[in-house]
Amino acid sequence: MSDTTEETENIFVKEIVSALKESDTLDDYPKRAVPLGTFARSSRFNKLGVIIDAFLQPASYNEDKENTIIYTLLLFPTGYAVTPQENCFVINESEYETVCYLMMPPVKLREFLRYVSGETLV
């Protein structure tokens, strides 16, 4: 992996860590959404990841006249080795395109991202 790609990925992870530091309150987090850190699979990409955010899509409603929840997922690479061609990435998926694994406890996002980035959270 080139130094530039590695630096870009590290900056990206640090931005996520910094956003989590600032968002200690979840006032705007949808009440119907699954907890942050829940393991989830993207149906579109068939990849496993964790939920790092959720928001309501204002113009889209389900059959109960409730706004559709959009989840932000941090998807993991497939397989054992991480190659430069395949890295973690972040996507937004509708609640209908996301399979959430509620039988597993949610990951603690702060600790997980600290592990990934090597940065200390206080």
pTM: 0.71
Q: How far apart are CA 94 and CA 113, in angstroms?
A: 23
Predicted confidence (pLDDT) at residue 111 exceeds the cutoff of 90: no
Which of the four pLDDT bands, split at 50, 70 and 90, describes residue 99? very high
CA angle 11, 27, 92 (to 5 degrees): 50
Q: What is the mean pLDDT of the chain?
A: 75
d(CA 64, CA 21): 35
Taking residue 79's Cβ as centre, other Cβ atoms within 10 Å add up to 8
pLDDT at 109 over 70: yes
Helix (H) or strand (E) segment spanning residue 42: strand 39-42
Banded pLDDT at 74 (limits 50, 70, 90):
confident
What number is the average pLDDT over the span 4-12?
A: 54
